[in-house]
Structure 1
Amino acid sequence: MGAALLSACGRGEAATGAIAPLKSHVPFPLGVCAMTAQMGDPQWAAMIATHFDRITPEWEMKMEYILQPDGSLRFDAPDRIVQQARNYGQSVLGHTLIWYAQDGDYFQKLKSQRQAFEAAYRAYIRDVMAHYIGYVDGWDVVNEPILDDGSDLRDCLWREVLGDDYIDIAYQAAHEADPACPLILNDYNLEYYPAKRKRFLALVEGMLKRGVPLQVLGTQTHIAADLPRGAIRETLRDLAATGLKIHLSELDISLKEAAKNALDFRNYRDAQRALYEEAAEAYAALPTAQQFGLTVWGLRDKDSWYNRKDKGLIADEPLLFDDAGQLKPVGQAFVKAL
């Protein structure tokens, strides 16, 4: 596969010009996140179609976008993403139904009415999933439920009203809406905090014992280039020990986070490359039956969420392609390691 990576051209670190589609190097779905604002960029659209076979809506399938204050639902933007994916023969990953960070005025007004709140909670999950039956190949049902220190579930409106059962209820409602759809539990910083990973796995074990329909575990893998080597491999090994499918769901590796936003982060490029290699090798080494897919969280460096707000004097470079759309050396290393 390395022979498919052709001669370099570029800016900064030498970037690669003509390359084989990245998705051609792996037997599992290779995904990327997307927003409708990017769809008008011809280069972005062409690269997405060429290199990836799964799309995850980055924001516009979340409750903050879909749910309106009166309880009605808007699907215009996520529908556009789904239609473009269909045009390119790609699958779509639903992201996300229930997240501690988003609830909305509609649910806030119902929080003193336990029965009405649960009915609306179930209905939201049912109606969003029903809208996309046959168009998505999995859903992040609950996103980021565990505190970073691993001490407990996060506090949120869902837990305040429904108790810890809010998670089980969400998966039951999702399964009732689309019994054939793989349901995912997704979280982040599992590589950084063993206690959080342990609590996450305890949650999973309890759900499975209770018969909760859960088929896939997602580890986001938003990491910095100073993450100790071996942490990604250890995390994937621990998650895979459950026997469930594994989604490496939001991969990016920040240089600026490692350098603590210093202007010169060149010393972290080798570490970044090694971590991308580790992620690729460790995921590719999972049993084939447990490989749900690997998703990178952005196409080009300028598309990254790290560069959207407060990027400072110099932009981060956390992704596989540079701003000009060329595969960077870190991207070449990632592909060779798959």
Structure 2
Amino acid sequence: MFSSKSLSSFASCLVLFSLSAGIHRQASAQDGFPGDRLKELAPPNFAIGGVMGGYDTESLNTPVLDLARSEFNAVTAKAFMPFGPWADPNQPIDTSGLTQNVAWAVQNGMQVHAHVLVYPTENVRLPWFQNLPNEDVEQVLQQYTSTMAGSVSGGVWVWDVVNEVIGDNGDVMDADGLRMGLGTGENYVPYKEYAAMGPDYIAKAFQWAHEADPNALLILNEYSAETVNDKSDRLLALCKRLRDQGVPIDGVGFQNHWLDLRYEPNYDSIRENFQRFANEGFQVFITECDVAAVQTQDPAGNPPTQEQLQRQARVFSNLLQIALEQPACKSFLMWDYTDETSWLQDTDFTLTLADRRPGFSDTVVPPGTSMFATPISGGDGVVPIAPKLAYLQMQAVLLNRPFDTYRVTSGWDWQTSYLARFGQPNLDGQFVPGSGVYVERLDDQSETWSSLKWELERIDASAYRIRNLWGDGADYLTRQPASNDDPNQILPGGTVGMQTLNEAWTSQQWFFIPAGNGGFRLVNGWAPEDGVLTREAQGQNSAGDYVPGPEIRLHPPADWSSQVWYFHRIGQ
């Protein structure tokens, strides 16, 4: 259902229909939202978005989802075992809610962050699972994980494989700081996963997920580990142990629920924490961000003040800035993105906000509290959907960010496919920038070459110029004209090269068309119907398969991995 071919076909149709007709952007589906949409301002391969509704979404044609389609390039699709997929063990696992939501997202060109395969804190709510004999637990977890991940294989960008397994101070934990159950004392409920399998359930869940969906990024998701603290220390140690065991873990999700009004996040500590995970080779994701503006029992009579909204906007925009500064950070996702649909509006639970500062006590937030914790008001059909100050400041952070620097790889044999600028020897025998481009292998030597580094300069929604950083950095990736005997007739050719900037040339404009799983087709603005950047083959092997070569040309859109390109952010 979610094959690479289906995603490619969707992108190809979008290229031919939109670009050939000269339609470079879609109008916003939301009135009252100024400027460009968040997804249009976000750098390529950086996901910005929020969570969809429940597992069994009654309708996919709602104002809130229309907002997501307009604003975001990614959504989080929820799937908790107790709530929808497998409430009754005598019935088959129901994957329909997940497949429906993923299909909707893919159809609308959005990446999917799926949440979650193994969630011990929620699984304690499932009586039949809690009552299983210990010897049956592994088979049941494997069945569930494999079924859910396999049902949307190829359509999911990131899976939260395991959620919230690092203990807080006061929890019942093992020697490595893993939570063994929920609560303490007479209220303690052991996690069935841990009781039956010990800590091995985490590693096995990652292995099952990888077998079911080998192309998805697999991460461990956690709360209250955003800064450098004892919990994030234990989280990093767990991730390193898993990796050292050969477990296919790609990164870590940091939830970022900032609900305590007594202080702002320690931004320097967040930067330091993200960097140490990046230094260990883990990708970083902001997965569930919300920021309380107020805590009120009377939302109509006591809404947030202007000062409180300014504080909220400052926190949202600073967190987004941190994400953009860190090349290893791949997403900024909100758990809810409209106030009136948020889990933090008119709550039906007691919430304890742990304060890790010495000498400070925890805060207990009673049921019936509203926090106005998103950057957009409304969402319930009564209060109009409108941008808050937080949205406007997030928009400004995206708009005013420095140019981003990338390495670019082809989807066809990506290990040997870094886009590079040719060099040529000068009279002194030193290599200087040439006019051609090709594909280069990345190794310890080429990793230092500026010829493999590209800077994106945004022109408009989804449109960029691509500048190489070798030499004076003044040359841009350009479609070359075809050979022609008539000097008065200049026609687009099938080759690309490097030329100095001419702002009037559409041959230096490249449109980024999502191709699934974080990849893009690069479509040239000069005759886009046959202007897709493509890695050429260099013959066939003994089995008759085409072999990727170093040459780069332009072709019409096709279902080829050689036309999909991935952007790896290495700095600003």
Q: TM-score range by the shorter chain?
A: 0.7 to 0.9
Match of residue 198, structure 2, among 130, 151, 163:
163
State the SS of the aligned residue for 1:133: coil
Q: 1:327 maps to what in 2?
A: 387
Bigger proportion of residues as strand = 2
1:315 aligns with 2:335: no
For residues 214-253 of structure 1, the aligned pairs below 5 Å read 214-224=249-259, 225=261, 226-230=263-267, 231-253=269-291
Match of residue 70, structure 1, among 74, 84, 89:
89
Q: 1:4 maps to what in 2?
A: none
Match of residue 278, structure 1, among 294, 315, 318:
318
Cα–Cα, structure 1 residues 17 and 102, in superposed 2: closer, same or farther, change >3 Å?
closer
CA shift, 1:308, in A, is: 4.9
CA shift, 1:261, in A, is: 9.2
Q: Distance in 1 between matches of 2:77 and 2:231?
A: 26
The answer to whether the 8 Å contact 2:49/2:75 transfers is: yes
CA shift, 1:315, in A, is: 3.4
State the SS of the aligned residue for 1:121: helix
Cα–Cα, structure 1 residues 142 and 100, in superposed 2: closer, same or farther, change >3 Å?
same
State the TM-score, normalized to the length of structure 1: 0.85
Which of the two has higher C-alpha Rg?
Answer: 2
Q: Distance in 1 between matches of 2:133 and 2:395?
A: 48
Match of residue 53, structure 2, among 27, 35, 49:
35
The answer to whether the 8 Å contact 1:137/1:181 transfers is: yes
Q: 1:6 maps to what in 2?
A: none
Q: Distance in 2 between matches of 1:241 and 1:261?
A: 46
CA shift, 1:16, in A, is: 5.5
State the SS of the aligned residue for 2:121: coil
Cα–Cα, structure 1 residues 119 and 315, in superposed 2: closer, same or farther, change >3 Å?
closer
Aligned length: 317
Residue identity (%): 24
The answer to whether the 8 Å contact 2:118/2:163 transfers is: yes
Cα–Cα, structure 1 residues 110 and 312, in superposed 2: closer, same or farther, change >3 Å?
closer
Cα–Cα, structure 1 residues 41 and 309, in superposed 2: closer, same or farther, change >3 Å?
farther
The answer to whether the 8 Å contact 1:16/1:328 transfers is: no
Match of residue 107, structure 1, among 129, 146, 163:
129
Cα–Cα, structure 1 residues 161 and 333, in superposed 2: closer, same or farther, change >3 Å?
same
User: What's the RMSD between the two structures over aligned residues?
Assistant: 2.6
1:211 aligns with 2:271: no
Q: Give CA-to-partner distance per residue, 1:113-135, whole Å, 9 cap, x none.
A: x2x32122112111111111112
The answer to whether the 8 Å contact 1:216/1:246 transfers is: yes
CA shift, 1:193, in A, is: 7.1
Q: 1:26 maps to what in 2?
A: 42
Instruction: Judge which range, 221-230 or 295-304, deviates more.
Output: 221-230
Q: 1:17 is matched by which residue type in structure 2?
A: F
Q: Distance in 2 between matches of 1:68 and 1:314?
A: 29
Cα–Cα, structure 1 residues 129 and 47, in superposed 2: closer, same or farther, change >3 Å?
same
Q: 1:330 is matched by which residue type in structure 2?
A: A
Cα–Cα, structure 1 residues 313 and 207, in superposed 2: closer, same or farther, change >3 Å?
closer
Q: 2:392 is matched by which residue type in structure 1?
A: Q
1:153 aligns with 2:208: no
State the TM-score, normalized to the length of structure 2: 0.52
* Highest RCO, 1 vs 2 (Cα 8 Å, sep ≥ 6): 1
- After TM superposition, the runs of 4+ consecutive aligned structure 1 residues lying more than 3 A away are 15-19, 36-42, 259-265, 310-315
Q: Give CA-to-partner distance per residue, 1:25-75, whole Å, 9 cap, x none.
A: 1121112101155745642232111111111124xx111121132252112
Q: Distance in 1 between matches of 2:303 and 2:71?
A: 30
Instruction: Judge which range, 208-217 or 186-195, deviates more.
Output: 186-195
The answer to whether the 8 Å contact 1:30/1:53 transfers is: yes
Q: Distance in 2 between matches of 1:82 and 1:46?
A: 15
Runs of at least 5 residues in structure 2 that lack an aligned partner in the other structure: 1-30, 181-190, 349-365, 379-383, 399-572
Runs of at least 5 residues in structure 1 that lack an aligned partner in the other structure: 1-14
Bigger proportion of residues as helix = 1
The answer to whether the 8 Å contact 1:233/1:279 transfers is: no
The answer to whether the 8 Å contact 2:346/2:367 transfers is: no
Q: Give CA-to-partner distance per residue, 1:58-104, whole Å, 9 cap, x none.
A: 4xx11112113225211232232122212312122111000121222
